[in-house]
A = this chain, B = another copy of it.
């Protein structure tokens, strides 16, 4: 591969200015269309730009204090479908606004967090979208202090007192509904596999579960609640424990679909059948959920829409720095498929 010649046929505003017969600050003006430029000159500049195929140089623009039209997305890793769905929404929204996306993954960095944020904010991006676990407060504080445009996705922020721009799903409500559904089906003993409890969403889902039990007059049996981590293997283990209980649950509510898959595996490995012997319900509705057997009943989280909303909000902060802090909650939805039915003792024997 021969030498890379970066500045190959680079057209600068200087070239455009010459072509259009104006000064090059005039070109800059039409580029940013802030100040008024006479219609005539603007016209000439535009034509010259088109003719020469001018493409703005982001670095220069940024260095000089302008916008880059790039938004940063900070995630822990790319391990799951979950983040893919969110990204899809973000990307679509950004595309419409002619913004580009810069992806940062944190999973491997040992860097001091606030220094890392410095790097992000000083480099390239006009704003930052964050999909992070609960303990990432250092990031957020730095961002807040710097008044750097940012929006959290699926994260409640530092504390309940400080309002941080964010987009979430109705996790509590979703879990409440899922639990109620199981209750209505006649289940009395419902196992619960938590998510990674350092995540706000995991906490909220647990709360929803508890609230539903309480509202239905059922006591909380601590044995039925197992601490998971949103991952399949732990879902498997928790379910094994649950099934080994003297009085095992007739239904299991997993805090996310991956855990639910683990649960399904564990159930099958015990030669039990879903939903005949035990009902399973998940959370998220990732693409796989519809494909497993039986199809998983789950609480749909509007991930793509959350991404869109977050991007939209961030763009607002970028263009209107004074815009008020918003916290957006998007509704979850119970998706009933085939992994739940009334418990054994309520079912007529002959059913297929």
Contact = CB atoms under 8 A, between A and B. Distances in A.
B1 A122 contact: no
A291 B1 CA distance: 43
Contact of A321 (B2, B53, B78, B95): B2
A107 B92 CA distance: 9
A119 B288 CA distance: 37
B103 A103 contact: yes
Contacts of A60: 59, 63
A283 B261 CA distance: 22
Given A101-B102, A123-B58, A124-B124, A146 B95 contact: no
A122 B56 CA distance: 9
Contacts of A9: 118
Given A79-B88, A287-B81, A291-B292, A321 B1 contact: yes
Copies in the complex: 2
Interface string A187-207: 000000000000000000000
Interface in A92-133: 92, 95-96, 100-105, 107-109, 115, 118-119, 121-124
A79 B70 CA distance: 21
B321 A147 contact: no
A102 B102 contact: yes
Nearest to A75: B91
A114 to B, nearest CB: 9
Contact of A1 (B7, B108, B165): B165
A2 B70 CA distance: 20
Given A59-B58, A88-B79, A124-B58, A149 B4 contact: yes
Interface in A147-175: 147-149, 165
Contact of A291 (B124, B288, B325): B288
A100 B70 CA distance: 14
A39 interface: no
A164 to B, nearest CB: 10
Contacts of A55: 115, 118-119, 122-123
A59 B65 contact: no
A244 interface: no
Contacts of A124: 58-59, 70, 124
B121 A322 contact: no
Contacts of A216: none
A131 to B, nearest CB: 14
Contact of A59 (B59, B78, B107, B322): B59
A5 interface: yes
Contacts of A273: none
A1 B78 contact: no
B122 A6 contact: yes
A102 B105 contact: no
Interface of A: 1-10, 53, 55, 57-60, 62-63, 65, 68, 70, 77-79, 81, 84, 87-88, 91-92, 95-96, 100-105, 107-109, 115, 118-119, 121-124, 146-149, 165, 261, 287-288, 291-294, 317-318, 321-325
6 contacts: A1-B325, A6-B121, A9-B118, A78-B84, A101-B103, A124-B124
Considering the complex of A and B, which 4 residue pairs feature the smallest CB-CB distances, nearest first? A293-B293, A59-B59, A59-B62, A59-B63
